[in-house]
A = this chain, B = another copy of it.
Amino acid sequence: MSYSIAEAARRSGLSIDTLRYYERIKLLDPPARDTAGRRAYSDDDLNWLGFLTKLRTTGMPIKSMREYASLRRHGVASAGRRKALLVEQRRSVAERIAELQGCLDVLDYKIENYAQVERKVLGVEPGMEEISA
């Protein structure tokens, strides 16, 4: 199967401009072209884009994604280095999740404070004593 740039954009969730940008900066190997010179993305291209967006979601900088992409072109000999990059990214994602979890706790604490203030305000409204109790 092959896909126009519009279709590839739709399926990958990236914009058309971003697809061309990723190609320019060598995140993505130049896809095949149709007879009119238009890009024709393969399923492999789409799968790779899917993985790239996962990496991006984890906050991996484009520089590192480019390194990974470049290693991929160098075949099986680069597998060790690629694995190392992923292991490092895994570590950084786990760390980030823990950090966000900490922020969640702070938010919960603050929100609970606001909720208590609300209950207090209700409590001093005339006739509302039973609600605040």
List, in ascending order, chain B residues with CB within 8 A of A57's CB.
Answer: 99-100, 103
Q: How large is the interface on A (under 10, 10 to 19, 20 to 34, 35 or more residues)?
A: 20 to 34
Whether the Cβ atoms of B79 and A117 lie closer than 8 Å is yes
- Alpha-carbon separation in the docked complex, A118 to B93 (Å): 24
Chain A 93-120 interface mask (CB, 8 Å, partner B; 1/0): 1101101111110111011001101100
**Taking the complex as formed, is A42 at the interface, i.e. its CB lies under 8 A from any CB of chain B?**
no
List, in ascending order, chain B residues with CB within 8 A of A115's CB.
Answer: 83
**Taking the complex as formed, is A86 at the interface, i.e. its CB lies under 8 A from any CB of chain B?**
yes
Which one of B51, B87, B93, B107 lies within 8 Å of A100 (CB-CB)? B93
User: Which chain B residue lies CB-closest to A82?
Assistant: B114
Whether the Cβ atoms of A96 and B100 lie closer than 8 Å is yes
Whether the Cβ atoms of A93 and B104 lie closer than 8 Å is yes
List which A54-93 residues lie within 8 A (CB) of chain B.
Answer: 54-55, 57-58, 76, 79-80, 82-83, 86-87, 89-90, 93
Q: List 14 A-B contacts (CB under 8 A).
A: A54-B103, A54-B107, A57-B100, A79-B117, A79-B118, A80-B118, A82-B114, A83-B118, A86-B110, A87-B111, A90-B108, A97-B97, A97-B104, A100-B100
